[in-house]
Structures are given as structure tokens and as C-alpha cells.
Structure 1
Amino acid sequence: MKKLYGISKVIFPLLIIGLIIYLFYAQPFGHRPIKFGSTYMTMNNDFYQTLNEPIANEIDDHNDILYSRNPELSVNNQVNEINNFIKNEVKVIFINPVDGTSTKLIRALKKAHQAGIKIIVVDSQLENSSNYVDCTIRSNNYQAGVLCAKELMSKQKSANILILQQPTAISVVDRIKGFENTIKNNKNFHIVDKINTTGQSENSYPKVQKYLKQGKNFDTIMSLNDKTAVGALAAINANNKSSKIAIYSIDGSENIKKMLSTQNANVKATVAQSPLQIGKVAIKVAYKLINHQKVKKEIILPVKLITSKNIKNFNITGWQ
């Protein structure tokens, strides 16, 4: 019995020491997890899921905490999420705004900023944001529209164009502006109409289908993003118009790239942006802000045109 007692006197302290060493390396003493919040206009889009991945991974590597939320295209939901981030005392908010011009949303973000929270906008912009947004990270959306227009004019002698847009998203407004400014001096290219969408295929499908059934005359679609383009394509196929309407889009999603790789009759081009790169830059900026380092107020990432001719240079099974 005495022998067992003596052994336990040796083993027990060793176990305690081992536990302390483990805890030291697993979670360094003195580390208080930093809290982050992310809210993107909708998580029903793998673009935002992909954008969030490098952010979540880096935060996890730092043993910090990320609250990821989904406003489901509702400004009110997004405002509530921001207010909850304030209550949870997050240090940084990553946001893709449901409506970049919303007074309610801007008011909530100003409140967060006044509470000392850093605000990082991704893949879009907010109106008059210089005094409450710390950094905006986005693709060159204007140039994306320009590239679509130039590709269209190089492939077609003329076009009657239906634009699928989302006026509440400033990034989309810039894309459409780039497209329109590029074609406006060519009298052979006409914008016949614009349809407002939410950027989702389930929303664009019925709207384009209704437009087709009205017998409107158009032969080209300029789509704000690939999700919207997929819905439009489904409507075209449902109305047996597959050989008559060309589609130009923006995103570089897996679905559209696969269609380009098989030379789909309708899909002519998409302009690729990189949600992975946006996410990587965003989390790098976030930790710099936390450590009181200077960052640029705006970081604009380049975009690339993808067609059936250069699709072999791109990964078609995921995002670039």
C-alpha cells in the first residue's frame, strides 16, 4: 500500500505538469479570444460561403471566435445582426451589405464604429462610407462590366440587350455602368429593358420567363452575376429560345465555367472574380486593424474574362 502511495505521489505531479504543458501549447496563457462577426447579403450563394472560408480558417488558427450570420437578403435582419455583434463585443465586422444605400443599415454600422468596432466591407460598397468604414475590399466591378461589353461587341455585330440588375447593390450598379458606358457610342447595340432581381436564380427565372412570354424582342442578356444568369438560362430553355439568346455574366462560378467548357450555345462569357482572394485579404486587413496598423481604405482586386477559348486556363471545379 505504501508502495502504491509512493508511486501515486510521483505520477500525479507528472500528470499535472503534462496537463499544464498541453494547455500552454493548445491555448497560450493570457490569450483572450478576439471576437469577429460576418454578415453577407445571403449565404444562399456559394460565392459568400467561399469568401468566408479563409476568414473562418484564419480565425480558428488564432484560437479566436467568428460569429457568422445570414441576413437572407433582409436589411432588417442585417441591422439586427450588427446590433447583436455590438452586444457580443466583437472587434471586427465583415459585411457585404444587403442594401448599400440603406439609412437603417448605415446607422447601425456607424453605431458599431462608434463602439470601437472595425468595419470591413467585402465584395461591394456602402454609400458615403469614409467616416465609418475602415476598409473596403472588392473586385474591379466597373472593369467587369467593360470586359463583358467588349467581348459582346467583338462577337456580335449588333444586339438588343436585356439587363438583369440589382440596384440596391453598389457593386452591381458599377458593373452595369461599366457595361453601358462601353456600348453607348455604338448605335448597333441597344438596351431594350432592365429587370430588377435579387441576384438569385430562383428570382431571375420567373422574371425572365414572364418577359419571354410577353414576346419582347431581345437577343442578348447582360447578367449582374452567374446565379442570375443560371436562372435566366433555365427560363430560356423552358421557352425553347436556346438558340437565339446570348448570355454574358460576372462571377466565374463553377456552373458557368462548366457551361463554357462544353461550349453551351447561350453562355458566351463570364468575368471572374475571386472570393477566396477577397476573404484572404479581408482577414489579413482585420488583424492589422486590431494591431493598430495602417491599412488602405480601399483595396480593388483585378478581374479576368473567361470564354470558351481560354476556359482551359481556369479551374472549373471551384472558385479561383
Structure 2
Amino acid sequence: MKKRQYPFLLIGLMALFVLPIYFYYISSTQPIKRFGVSYMTMNNPFYEVINNEMRKQIEARGDQLIVRDPLLNESKQQEQIEQFIDMKVDGIFINPVDSRSLEPTLAKAKRAGIPVIAIDVPLSDSTSLLSTVVSDNYGAGVQCARHIMSHFDHAKIGLLKHSSVQSASERIRGFKETIASDDRFQIVNEAQCLGQLEIAMPKTEEMIAKTPDISIIMALNDPSALGAKAALKNIGRKDIYIYGVDGTPEMKALLAKDPMVLGTVAQSPYSIGKKAAQAMYDHLKGAPVSKNIVIPVEMIDHDSIDFYSKGGWQ
């Protein structure tokens, strides 16, 4: 006589219906991880894209990203990091207002066992950082200089800078060290603009008033380049060429139609946001994380603009 299989059938049904519910319950009761991020400013679409990508990566795992904007105020950013430490967040992302002053505050996070990742801007002292995720900023400056050297016989150049931020100063350093190798080109004026369009406008007008023979403006980023463009329009100068760094949709749209906007070195905020989030989760899982993650950049000019989307980032 054939033995009855009812017990085995019952076990199979339990495995089919009960176990998925059990595993769902276990996963849904895991504590939510909370991460804090403080950007130097959210008045820059580049950081909005980085933030959206990080939020997407973090929320896809059921976790939370707490965003703070210190409005380019160094002391306020330090306070925000202190608040994250008091909240006992699982990790901190920092886009520093100043590359030199945050180490004592970040050391507190390290002592509290909270990993910290710098995004887009490195710190002068990375002792307390888990990792730094940045574009090849020095290389961006080099690419702009080489483009000028290969497209002009000579030029007098004005610089728009943000020297307290290491990523911006690295771009300018790469540019200056490269252009210095060719005596056909001279840097005749420099101005600090904090990377902000509304500051770059009056600073550009001041530069042109003092050194009207400038024929090229090299800006540390695209918002500054767009501010320079607006200033040149205000003063009626149509004979000065502009370079930037970022690859913003606005700058690419100008590249496609404006002969005086000659180039921008494209960064990928999507890659920065994604790699920063991945590095944090890798560390929390116990996997090794590189101390420095450098993302390549590439020149976009009139010859290559058609290969890029004008309406979005890369």
C-alpha cells in the first residue's frame, strides 16, 4: 500500500507561503540606516544632481539621507556635522566649504565611530576620512590650458577662482602650471568669485575694467563662466572667449550656439553620487574602500558637443 504524502505536502505549502512572509518580516524590521550630508551650497545644480543620485541609491535600500546646506558658511557647516554626530548617524558625506578647517570636527566623528566620505572637494588633511570621491580636477585645468594652446596663437587670460576649496584650486593650478610652459600666453588678472554666478558677474566687469586686453576668461566652474558671459554682455564685449569646468546643461547649450564659449571640461555628478554611496555601504559591510576615488573628466568643445546631451548631465 502506498504511504500517504500529506505531511510532506503540508511542509511544502508552509515553505511556499510562510517562509517568504518570515523573511519579509525580518528584512522589514532591520533598523533604517541614516546618513547626513552637508554641501557647501545647494545654489549649484551640480550638487543637486549629486544629491539626487545619492538619495536614490540610499532610499533604494530603505535608508534615509538627511541633507543640510550651510550656505557657504564654514562655521555653520561645522555645526551641521556636530548635529549629525549627536544624531548618531551611520555615516556622513561632506562637501566642504573650506578644505582646511574641518579636520578637528571630523575627528570627533571618527572617535564616535562614524565613517566620513568627502565628495567633490578633497580636504587638506584627510586623516579622519574614510574616502574622498572627486573628479580629476587638476586634469580639468590641464585640458583647458591645452585646448587654448592648440587653438590660439597668443592670448592674455583672466582667471575666476575659488581658492579656499581644494577642488577649485586644483583646477586653477593645473591650468596655470600647463599654460606657463608656453610664453605666448600670459595670465594678466585673477579674481575670487566663490564659484558663484552672481559674484562672478561683477568680478568679471572689474577685471575687464582693469585689464581690458584680456581675450580669454578661464573660470573654475560653469556657474562662474556663465556669470562671466552675462558680465561681458552687460559691458558690450563680444571679443572675449570663455572656458569653464562642469559640463552643465546650460554651458553645453551655449557651446552649441555661441562662438565665444569655447569649452567646458565635463564632470559626472551621477558617478560621484553613485560611487560615494557605494563606498559607504561597502565599508559598512566590511569591504575595503579606496582612500581616493578619482573620476575621469573630458573636454567638450565645438567639435565634440554633438556627442553630448544638451538637456542633461553626463
Residue 270 of structure 2 aligns to which amino acid in structure 1? L
Cα separation, partners in 2 of 1:188 and 1:29, compared to 1, 3 Å: closer
Pairs within 5 Å for 1:50-69: 50-69=49-68
Cα distance in 2 for residues equivalent to 1:63 and 1:27? 14
Say if 1:22 and 1:308 are closer, same or farther in 2 by CA, change over 3 A. farther
Alignment of 1:162 onto 2:164: no
- Summarize deviations over 1:131-187 as a string: whole Å, max 9, x none: 201100111111100100010111111010001111111011111111111111211
Kept in 1: contact 2:200–2:228 (CA 8 A): yes
- After superposition, give the CA deviation of every residue in 1:26-80 in whole Å (9 maximum; x if it has no partner): 8834310111001111101110010111211121111111111111111011001
Match for residue 257 of structure 1 among 252, 256, 262: 252
Distance of 1:226 and 1:32 partners within structure 2: 41
Q: When the two structures are superposed, what TM-score results if normalisation uses the length of structure 1?
A: 0.89
User: 1:197-276 to 2 correspondence within 5 Å?
Assistant: 197-214=193-210, 216-242=212-238, 244-262=239-257, 264-276=258-270
Superposed CA RMSD in Å reads 1.8
Query: Where do residues 26-65 of structure 1 align in structure 2 (5 Å cutoff)?
Result: 28-65=27-64
Equivalent position of 1:98 in the other structure: 97
CA change 1:252–1:29 in 2 (3 A) is: closer
SS at match of 2:183: coil
**CA–CA distance in 1 between the matches of 2:25 and 2:158?**
56
CA distance in 1, matches of 2:183, 2:211: 23
- Pair 1:310-2:307 in alignment: no
**1:27–1:63 contact (8 Å) kept in structure 2:** no
How many residues are treated as equivalent by the alignment? 297
Where does the alignment leave 5 or more consecutive residues of structure 1 unmatched?
1-17
Aligned-partner Cα distance in 2 for 1:29–1:188: 65
SS in structure 1 of the partner of residue 160 of structure 2: strand
Structure 2 residue aligned with 1:288: 282
Of the candidates 81, 99, 111, which is equivalent to residue 114 of structure 1? 111
Give the whole-Å Cα distance in 2 for the aligned partners of 1:307 and 1:22.
55
What secondary structure does 2:31 align onto?
coil
Q: Give 2:121's aligned residue.
A: 124
Give the drift of 1:270: 0.4
- Structure 1 equivalent of residue 272 of structure 2: 278
**Residue 299 in 1 paired to residue 296 in 2?**
no
Match of 1:73 in 2: 72
Whole-Å separation in 1 of the counterparts to 2:266 and 2:28: 44
Cα 1:183–1:26, aligned 2, differ >3 Å: closer, same or farther? farther
- Provide runs of 4+ in structure 1 moved above 6 Å: 21-24
Distance of aligned partners of 1:237 and 1:29 in 2 relative to their CA distance in 1, 3 Å threshold: closer
Q: Distance in 2 between matches of 1:246 and 1:215?
A: 15
1:186 to 182, 197, 205: 182
The one-letter code matched in structure 1 to 2:178 is T
Counterpart position of 1:14: none
Aligned to 2:251, the other structure's residue is in SS state helix
